[in-house]
Chains A and B, each alone.
Chain A
Amino acid sequence: MTTEDDVETRRARALRIQRGQEGPAAIGALLADEDWRVRKQAAEAAAAHLADDMVRETLVLGLLQPDDVGLRNAAVEAFVRAEPSLAPVVGRALVGALDRATPTARKFVCAALVGAGREAIEPLARLADEDDVMTACAAVEALVSLARRGIARPAIGRLLGEALARPEPVVRLAALDGLGAAGVVIEADALRAALEDPVTSAAAIGVLGRARGTGVSELLLAALPREHTTVEAAIALVRHGDLDGEPTRGRTLAVLRTLPVGLRARLAMAARERGADDARAAARILLEAGPTEDGRDVLAAVVDLGVRAELDPGCRAALLAWGQEGVALLLELVRERMPDDVSAASWALEAAADLASLCPSSHGSAVAELARALLAHGEDVAAKAGARALAHFGTAEDATLLAAAAQAMGPSFESLAAESVAAIAERTGAAPPGIRRARRTSRPGLVAADGARLRRDLASDDPSARASALDALGHLDERETVELVAMALADEDEEVQIAALRALSRARGADARAEAARSARVLLEGASSPVRAEALHTLSLLGGFDRDDRSEVLLSHLADASPQVVIAALRALGVSAASGPDVEAALEHALAHDDPEVVKETLHVMARRPDGATRARIVASLAHPHWSVRTRAAELLGNEVQKDASARAALEARATVETDELVLRAIGAALASGGADA
């Protein structure tokens, strides 16, 4: 047997143990295996068997032994992966191990205690208070890991605040790092000592941005012009919201505008090099200060950030305030970055075009000239930037250029080119050249139905052209036109069928609508799921399910194998008058669907039928296994909290056990919408 085969064999054995196909007797040897892949699999297997006394003791011994690093790490990983139901057992095992642990081993026990969840907080609090600095640090880090999991954040925040009072800088730094990473909010007063210590001041500034209490803004403003804290203070000012509201906004901007060039250069470097969130904060500070003598360097950093990570709304609003001066500087950057840095040049041009479109600008022709150059460049990102800029400032001749480019560049460019051509046509009044393969982006009514022309277009050998012809149609007023469009439902191309269904949904007048609905109904059977889903949507728009005798059609599609069709049926049901026991039964069935998207759509339909039974089902969905269903349930209940105390009570109860951050945020927002302290 080869070495690789041996590894695979041992790893497979660990997997069998994990799946319960073999007993855990060999787990100790596998945890101590020489190959990391085997150890990793063994850790997962051990985590699955933590209820077994032998396995737990094996892991504890692995933690406590001094020589085998791989075994120790595997033991930590196994404990950390413990199921929440085993937290008390894990906690007892590890706390019991502390008596046998050397100072070195205690660090690993701390790391493993994360697997004990809430049970670990009390022992970790004691460990964080120990004289041994390394143990105290390990305990602090473990507490941070728990907070990251959403466990007992307020309590852990207090403990981390206490750790800030320790004399050892390394413990204070661990606590500060934890406060930042775990998103724990503490009182600003708890940070004062750390702010005054040169070793910890930069880290403390970073945490200060999330702190509560009076004087935070003062502390941050004081730190902003200091060389070694400028960047952290700038980022913290954005995080603390000082740029979003009075009364400190004015003072903040005053400080920003007087920052020396050297400090602004540091902020620009941060905008280029830091992680996206920090970079955006640094960029926003620079932009909020407005155009300064180094405005070009500021915008260069912003462009690089934009290419890398895009701007957030705060940065965008701040850049918009630069007006004409911003346009001029951005256009300089476009010229400078072309042709070597196409991404940056493209981004800068689009930003310049946006800015120029909002302020009375003399730069329109310059924007258009550079847009043409980028369009001709050939690179996808450049052509798209050129097209978007020409939408604002292009001429009728540019519309022709765009149409030609659309032919050359293919589908990914066509719809954008069509939008830009339409925008130019609207602005200049000139007739737009056709973009043969582009999908419809025009509004209904732009093209009146012309039977002869439609017949000709629908006879094209190009399915995109056939679909485009249907997309370009406005309202269908005549029965004869509806019949012509309906014939396209038999097209062999699915996209053409869907375009025909969408066109039918624009039928007007009783006769035309009735004919359109009759035709669309044909595609409810035998077609592909996207087509059937579109047919359901079209019929819904045409009122095809308004009659009770049509509801059985909907019900049959609620039980379809395709989630896409079920969702379309649910949406149609949501706007129909269908009701009754069959409908309720079908909704119950959909609520138990495997796919969370179906469940969410069902909840929406139920929310529009407010009665005690459906409310109870939405409440029950707060405990659904999938986080997105729980989020949606919380949002829907949020619409009820103002008038229904039971909705509020259900949300508050869920908040005490929920661990998913996004769900907790949704619950908080839902409660806040009712005026509660979320």
Chain B
Amino acid sequence: MAHDFTSAPRIEPSYSKPQGNYLDMEPTPPFRYKFHPERWGIIDGDWLPILGTMRLVAGVNGVEEKNGHLNLTRAKVNLEINGWKLLDLDVYPDGGPSGYLAAYQGKKGPIHVSVFETPIGSGKNVAFRRDEKLYADFLRSLISEGYIPGPDPMVIEKLIENQKVLVGRIASKPTVKTSPIVEQELKNAQELLDAMLAAQAKGTVVVTVHSTPKTPKAKR
């Protein structure tokens, strides 16, 4: 009698290439944000920090691999010598256990970006949509929650002075009245200077309330 296969268990088919919604771009490593007291800029109308990123890649700026795990001890020493402060993932509790770090599956490996970026597009044309307001609020919360200090007035004065020099330099170009490109550069620089002065006058930073309840942390 012929064997009946109708009751054989189904299994998932195997494929040689990844299936599903994988991003067609090169993988990127996980990272941590870091803060320096002299790096500030105008973001969303306020003086907010321009954060750096420490990429968790063995061999970069002192990150080393030991027993299958990344060791950041020497990397932190390198950072602190230059005045940086590393920001742990939990400074952004709204992002869940991975904080401000998000990862998407790429065809060749995971792609790590911030939670403020979302991939859009299809096929080989992958772009990221940014939530600028949410990122600015995150930066504000770093100050209001005490993870980083607010901007030093002397640093802000120096940055404003640099911007004034830049505006003057562009305004004195011989092509400022004849070249639309230079005219636009002058407009951009003047607008930024105005925003810097307005933010300096505003002074205080808006306090951000997290949507996720969190245990109050002592001011640092």
Bound pair: A and B?
no
* Chain B residues engaging chain A, CB cutoff 8 angstroms: none
